[in-house]
Amino acid sequence: MWKRVGAVGLGGALGGILRQASATALSAPGSVLPWGTLLVNAVGSLALGALMGAVLEAGWPRPGWREFWTVGLLGSLTTYSTLAVETLRVGASSPILGGLNLGGNLLLGLAAAWIGLSGGRNLALRVRHARGVPRPEELRTGARSAREVAE
């Protein structure tokens, strides 16, 4: 258990550093919309989708590493609380821009997660097939490899 807690802590530290660096790099003077938050939420959604696609299809990454990447690094990289506060801040001066900020983050995040999930699953399937490792449903047929199922 403590290895997983340590993995989350290390991933969280790295994700927090990446989020701060992104926010600093993308903070344009005079910009109304918080572009840094949009970027880290979209990238984090894409990466988490890809990881979960690989987990669902092939069980990668292994426990410990899974917590490092998902709860730790990507959990601290992405940010719902900052999105909420920034949306309220932007919305106070322009309700339309506040709505666009919230809607843009939501739609871009969902699209990125879907693309990542599909890509992660497809990559895991290709690797499994190239290695001749059967999928769980193929194992139920009694085949010893994916190639045997195809024959």
Per-residue pLDDT reduced to its tens digit, 119-132: 999 998 888 888 88
Which of 36, 38, 26, 19 has its CA nearest to residue 112? 38
Q: Which DSSP string do the residues of 92-105 spell out, in sequence order?
A: HH-HHHHHHHHHHH
User: What's residue 132's pLDDT?
Assistant: 82
What does the alpha-carbon distance between residue 121 and residue 114 come to, in Å, rounded to a whole number? 11
User: What's residue 51's pLDDT?
Assistant: 92
Annotation-wise, does 37 bind a ligand? no
The pTM (predicted TM-score) of the whole model is 0.81
- Tell me if the bond preceding 134 is cis, omega within 30° of 0: no
Annotation-wise, does 119 bind a ligand? no
* Domain range for 71: 2-150
26 confidence band (pLDDT: 50, 70, 90): confident
The crossing angle, in degrees rounded to 10, of helices 95-131 and 35-58 is 30
Q: Are 24 and 88 in contact (CB under 8 A)?
A: no
End-to-end CA distance of the chain: 43
The total number of structural domains in the chain stands at: 1
